[in-house]
Chain A
Amino acid sequence: MADVAADPAPDLEPVRVDRATKASRVFAALAAVALAALISLPWWGDAGWMRLIAEMAYYVALAQLWNLLAGYAGLVSVGQQAYVGLGGYMLFYLTGVWNVNVYVALLLAGPFAGLMSIPVSFAVFRLRGAYFAIGTWVVSEVFSLLASLILVLGAGSGMSLTVPILREISSDRDVRDTMLYLMTLAMSLLVFAIVYSLLRSRHGLALTAIRDSEPASASLGVNTFRTKFIIYVATAACTGLIGGLIFLQKLRISPEAGFSINDWTVVVIFMVVIGGIGTLEGPFIGMLVYIILRELLADYGTYYLILLGVLAIVIMLKAPMGIWGWVIHRYDLQLFPVGRRLRLEPTDDPSKR
């Protein structure tokens, strides 16, 4: 028999903390099916499809990372292309100049980019807001210029991956394509898993708090500087890994391609903004919109970039929450649950009726 005097709050009903929602459970099932299809693609699809899906996979990963940085940590960086280039160059340098095994080189590309982001953060964290954005851009330009001046990195012409390096993955071209495809898919899932678990964790709560109000969260004891620093470095490392994989598949790297703001930042920002910044679902949607638009407008040259610019402006003015933001607003839907809902537990305990 419970000692009523010791029960601190006899009138409160027990609650349960719920992580998942009904929609997210349905979605999880569908996602599992889609994932199985994607993993098995090499056995029923052709090389062209694998290349396209791989591209979609690495764009989604880049978008998730930029979303984490800008949408959650409030660090609007226009210089993430620096880490794409750094990762790519590290891969080519290690394999081409030091004959390091291609897999080892790939695994080192990420940490290298992460390491470089530490001194960078000392400089750029001194800036705020839009000035921070331009500062990250300057840093990227610095890396690009350095790459174009260093002879061992091929200077302005860049470097190519030689055949022996590719053979380390496989001598058979089809096997190689499959390996690269699966590696890209795995990397994309890994990045998504990291971002997702981060946002579900205590750090994720801290980030949402920082995003909503930095002074308020600081006053509650959230170490905003350390949180942002960790996110910045982690994002840089993941971006470096992605950069390595991207250029492994492109077979060539040059300062212009490796540090291209158009390819690695403009497009990524567009995806996140259109899809819905600050949501996990947004980058997926934004990536799909971008790929569809690109395929549809392939024949129109620069007009499609102009259209992207116009779309970004319209979305920012009329629907700044993006497509998924609008969906959440209308339907209160969340497919990747990061929130916590309190649910009252129905109880059979007669003393509590």
Chain B
Amino acid sequence: MQWLNVFIQGSLLGGIYALFAIGLSMSFGIMRLVNIAHGDFIVLSGYVALVVTQSTGLDPFSSLAIVVPVMFVLGYALQRGLLNQTLTGGLLPPLLVTFGISIIIQNGLLQGFGAYDHRLQEGAIETASIHLPGGIDVGVYPLLVFAVAVFSIASLQFLFYRTGLGRAFRAVSDDADTAELMGIDNRKLYALALGIAMIFTAIAGVLFGIRTIFDPAAGPIRLILAFEAVIIGGLGSMWGTLIGGMVLGIAQSVGAALDPTWQILAGHLAFLAILILRPNGLFPRTRD
């Protein structure tokens, strides 16, 4: 029974990792841009929520009403103003520019908030749990986060496959040159893509910030976890990313059950193993 518990906890953990991964997946899928600062934006969302909750007295969930639009605008402006210019220079410019942004965010946060740990407080829901038969306790909060992840992916799938905007995203992802020849304004579309990606990044940042402490340097590990979920699941498949997140979460849970200090390492090792054995991930879809 204890292992069933491990499996359930790990799967639910996968929900937050999938939420981490959505933004990364979107910007790579649509504009072939790997945002090295992605993890730092997750952390930044947490800090924005912190400021909002402290100045307005709102609880973290409600603060999303402000945090999400703020991060959307930030993403849109960043892509439109800066990142769009890096897309034509090959591999290095986007990598190094987003690397630079990562350093700026981390050190800016350090200057502004200090090196201390912070956490968003949502109250009782953080520790509430559902008691299932067989002695299994399922935390309400992890369940909620998992549900948000599923809902987020479902809405994105709806966006991509049932709307005109989604059609445009898929076209640009297939062939950006021809998409422009068909009348699509690529630059605006990319900006919109990063803006939408930031919506989910913001949600992930706030939800995770309630569950776990964060500090200015917490970005890179978030990026790595998001990246591992995407690679394990296979590039190009959103539901695959959810499965990838769950695999990662389960590997971490197994590691933690053996020894709490092995949690993150267990995840990394599972990732490397899958990379060697199934280099295209579990459910690969895109042609690169």
Contacts and interface: CB of A to CB of B under 8 A. Distances in A.
Interface string A309-341: 111110011001000000000000000000000
B89 A320 contact: yes
Contacts of A310: 100, 104
B36 A130 contact: yes
Given A130-B34, A306-B107, A269 B96 contact: yes
A139 interface: yes
B74 interface: no
Contacts of A139: 272
Contact of B272 (A123, A128, A273, A309): A123
Q: Find the residue from B223, B265, B279, B288 having the highest chain A CB count within 10 A.
A: B265
Given A123-B276, A138-B224, A312 B99 contact: yes
Interface in A245-272: 261, 266, 269
B231 interface: yes
A10 interface: no
Interface in A124-138: 124, 126-131, 133-135, 137-138
Contacts of B264: 141, 145
A145 B265 contact: yes
Nearest to A142: B268
A3 to B, nearest CB: 53
B262 interface: yes
A317 B97 contact: yes
A243 to B, nearest CB: 21
A78 B268 CA distance: 16
**Ranked 8 nearest A-B pairs via Cβ:** A130-B34, A309-B103, A126-B279, A313-B100, A312-B100, A309-B104, A309-B100, A302-B107
28 contacts: A127-B275, A131-B231, A133-B95, A135-B275, A138-B224, A141-B224, A141-B264, A142-B268, A142-B272, A145-B265, A266-B99, A266-B103, A273-B92, A273-B96, A302-B107, A305-B107, A306-B107, A306-B108, A308-B100, A309-B99, A309-B100, A309-B104, A312-B97, A312-B100, A313-B82, A316-B92, A317-B82, A320-B89
